[in-house]
């Protein structure tokens, strides 16, 4: 999110994935930045790194918002069940320009953009992420000390691992 024009904005991405391409025929897939936790990395560090890689923004960790657990069956390969634990963090924008990402990252991200936080719960494609947007709104309302600073932004991000459970 970014505090501008007297409201909060949240950084989102449109993934460049086969599922997103299929869904694009109906409507765009709008999601929060995410990625795998690298060896030796903490989920919080992953969130900051993934935001930088997928959106072009530098951000600081403010708080962990929640964990969401779910299961899905892979639609490719072995069709195994995958159990995930998704950890969501609130990050505060520090610098950078949305969408300025490396050419390699364009293999994963079609576009990165700002959307108003108050519309995020209706715009994000995944139910769990819509709930996280509401949690971010509640956090910001409960922490007004973040509001007076000019041009302050925050973003919600997720990280994941593939060790049986994943952190998104």
* CATH at 37: 3.90.79.10
Predicted local confidence at residue 35, as pLDDT: 84
Domain count, the chain: 1
pLDDT grade for 84, boundaries at 50, 70 and 90: confident
20, pLDDT greater than 80: no
Listing DSSP states for the chain in one string gives -EEETTEEEEEEEEE-SHHHHHHHTTS---B----BPPTT--HHHHHHHHHHHHHSEEEEEEEEEEEEEEEEE-SSTT--EEEEEEEEEEEEEEEE-TT---TGGGGTEEEEEEEEHHHHHHH-SSHHHHHHHHHHHHHHHH-GGGSSSTT-EEEEEEEB--BSB---
163, pLDDT greater than 50: no
Look at residue 130 and tell me if it is in a domain: yes
Look at residue 165 and tell me if it is in a domain: no
Range of the domain at 61: 2-159
Look at residue 166 and tell me if it is in a domain: no
Average confidence score pLDDT of the chain: 85
Predicted local confidence at residue 149, as pLDDT: 46
Q: Which of 31-40, 46-55, 77-86, 117-126 has the lowest mean pLDDT?
A: 77-86
Residues 41-80 pLDDT 10s: 999 999 999 999 999 999 999 999 998 888 889 888 888 9
pLDDT grade for 114, boundaries at 50, 70 and 90: very high
């Amino acid at each position: 999110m970014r505090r501008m024009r007297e409201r909060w904005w949240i950084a989102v991405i449109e993934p460049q994935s086969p599922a997103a391409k299929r869904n694009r025929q109906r409507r765009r897939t709008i999601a929060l930045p995410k990625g795998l936790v690298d060896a030796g990395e903490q989920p919080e560090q992953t969130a900051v790194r993934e935001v930088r890689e997928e959106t072009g923004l530098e951000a600081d960790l403010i708080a962990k918002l929640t964990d969401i657990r779910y299961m899905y069956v892979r639609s490719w390969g072995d069709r195994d069940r995958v159990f995930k634990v998704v950890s969501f963090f609130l990050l505060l924008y520090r610098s950078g320009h949305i969408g300025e990402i490396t050419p390699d990252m364009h293999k994963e991200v079609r576009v990165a953009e700002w959307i108003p936080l108050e519309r995020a719960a209706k715009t994000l494609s995944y139910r769990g992420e819509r709930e996280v947007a509401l949690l971010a709104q509640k956090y910001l309302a409960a922490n007004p000390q973040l509001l007076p600073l000019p041009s302050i932004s925050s973003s919600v991000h997720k990280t994941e691992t593939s060790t049986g459970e994943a952190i998104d």
